[in-house]
Structure 1
Amino acid sequence: MRFQTPLVPGHLIRRYNRFLSDVRLENGDVIKAHCPNPGSMMGLKDEGLKVWLEPNDDPKKKLKYGWRLVEFENGHWSGIDTSVPNRVVKEALLARQITELSDYHTVRPEVRYGENSRIDFLLTQAGLPDVYVEVKNVHLLRQDDWAEFPDSVTTRGAKHLAELTNMVSEGHRAVMLYLVQRTDCARFKLAPDLDPGYALAFDKARAAGVQMLCYDTRIDVTSVRLGRTLPIDTAQQVNAD
């Protein structure tokens, strides 16, 4: 997934009101940028962080900049736009770059299923069971090279796991794909201290046959692309009692 216009650098002053941020550009101007991330953004919203913004000249948009990336002092990157993972995964599915799903040629996004939900991608192929693929954005890192999910309570995420479990019970294949929008992670685990309910739903879904996948991304100022598979910590996350 390539950015539509060249990104410009700045330094974060603050992120506030969920979807807004103030950034100081290199020429000293302070501008307001759209923050396409309603989550907690733990570790990604500290004052002074170097950030990269995508400018636009769309007359329909009130804000002329969109925050896209964080560049850390150690040379690593993180994407902050929560819409990017689905775009990256769609490109990868169509190019058959995700090994575990490469046998499927038909990719349909945003298909209704479950209880008033939409699956991110429904994959079909003659002679194979349908695959329901849900994608989650991951950009939390608190220790060593561990990517973690979620970074706050997500009842919606737990609901998605339950609906994937139902698809398995109906004879379909179901996949939860975690896409790590960071370049400094080498493995993945859940964060049950931040959301024990989601961790319990993860354990139940995995035990029922939902396939858990994790990929990282290759990030620079021009694009975000699918990277390598990351190992998932499969230890039981919480005590069901």
Structure 2
Amino acid sequence: MIFSSPLKKATLIKRYKRFLADVILEDGTETTIYCANTGAMTGCGEQGDSIFYSTSDNKKRKYQYTWEFTLTSKNHLICVNTAKANALVAAAIEQGCIPELLGYQDCQAEVKYGEENSRIDFLLSDPTKVDCYVEVKSCTLLDERYQVGDGFFPDAVTTRGQKHLRELIEMKHQGYRSVLLFAVLHSGINNVQAADFIDKKYAALFEQAKMEGVEVICYFPDLTSYIDL
């Protein structure tokens, strides 16, 4: 479980100041909730969309509710809380749901590594294998200008993401296994590509990383299991 209690439904009015959104609760009350997403969230929340929120029991929080999912007018389900991507991937690794990452004895999260003061999302290790460095990115940008189901990352210029690609390339050079794992948190996305129309530098590094042996994996979690539609 990545939520301690069932999510509740509301109607989105608008998102603003990146971290805030105004919504109408099911009882008709209008309130402000927290949005745990620093990206552009393109297509992930339009006025009138249904959203699902969690409730915090932390009395020190200014905003009790957190926006977790969006159900769009096209019936696409999107997990907009990017902090949940790592929890979903951690559970998938533990349960053996990602075939490419099977066979490791130990999985450590947030391990310091690299020359640019980074932390790898997951370091997989086993006495019989070389260590595997796994960097997780959540993908929610659906852009069907080319074909149906095309997903892209990033949805905004990301110097942090560029740094992570450089670090993965360097770990591959050192003889380790390097993996860029896209957690696809949008039910309308079937594949993931680098968004060169948003961040050309990231897209160039992405192509370089693949050429130098960094593996790219897409993981498609079942988002419907976390909400009551």
Q: Distance in 1 between matches of 2:219 and 2:7?
A: 24
Structure 1 residue 76: deviation in Å? 2.7
| Aligned pairs, number | 223
Secondary structure of the equivalent of 2:204?
helix
1:128 is aligned with what amino acid? K
Preserved CA contact (<8 Å) 1:7 1:221: no
Structure 1 residue 96: deviation in Å? 2.1
Preserved CA contact (<8 Å) 1:94 1:105: no
1:175-227 superposed Cα distances (whole Å, 9 cap, x missing partner): 0000110112222212100110100000111111101111112112636xxxx
1:218 aligns with 2:219: no
1:69 aligns with 2:73: no
Deviates more, 1:2-11 or 1:147-156: 2-11
Aligned ranges 1:169-208 → 2 under 5 Å: 169-208=173-212
Aligned residue number for residue 122 of structure 1:
123
TM-score (norm: length of structure 2): 0.94
1:154 aligns with 2:158: yes
Q: Distance in 1 between matches of 2:205 and 2:193?
A: 14
Q: Distance in 2 between matches of 1:11 and 1:63?
A: 17
Structure 1 residues 195 and 111: alpha-carbon distance in aligned structure 2, compared to 1, 3 A threshold: same
Among candidates 139, 145, 148, match of residue 149 of structure 2:
145
Secondary structure of the equivalent of 1:82?
coil
Secondary structure of the equivalent of 1:31?
strand
Structure 1 residues 84 and 91: alpha-carbon distance in aligned structure 2, compared to 1, 3 A threshold: same
**5+ long unaligned stretches in structure 1:** 224-241
1:122-181 superposed Cα distances (whole Å, 9 cap, x missing partner): 000012110000000100002121111111101110110110000011110100000110
Among candidates 143, 168, 172, match of residue 168 of structure 1:
172
Aligned residue number for residue 99 of structure 2:
99
Q: Distance in 1 between matches of 2:160 and 2:223?
A: 27
Q: Distance in 1 between matches of 2:225 and 2:210?
A: 36
1:196 is aligned with what amino acid? K
1:4 aligns with 2:8: no
Structure 1 residue 4: deviation in Å? 1.3
Percentage identity across paired residues of the two chains = 39
Q: Distance in 2 between matches of 1:54 and 1:129?
A: 39
TM-score (norm: length of structure 1): 0.89
Preserved CA contact (<8 Å) 2:45 2:70: no
Q: Distance in 1 between matches of 2:226 and 2:184?
A: 18
Q: Distance in 2 between matches of 1:60 and 1:220?
A: 31
4+ aligned runs moved over 6 Å, structure 1: none
Aligned residue number for residue 43 of structure 1:
43
2:206 is aligned with what amino acid? F
Q: Distance in 1 between matches of 2:111 and 2:42?
A: 31
Secondary structure of the equivalent of 1:220?
helix
1:35-69 superposed Cα distances (whole Å, 9 cap, x missing partner): 00011000113211111111223212111111000
Preserved CA contact (<8 Å) 1:146 1:186: yes
RMSD: 1.3
Aligned residue number for residue 233 of structure 1:
none
**5+ long unaligned stretches in structure 2:** none
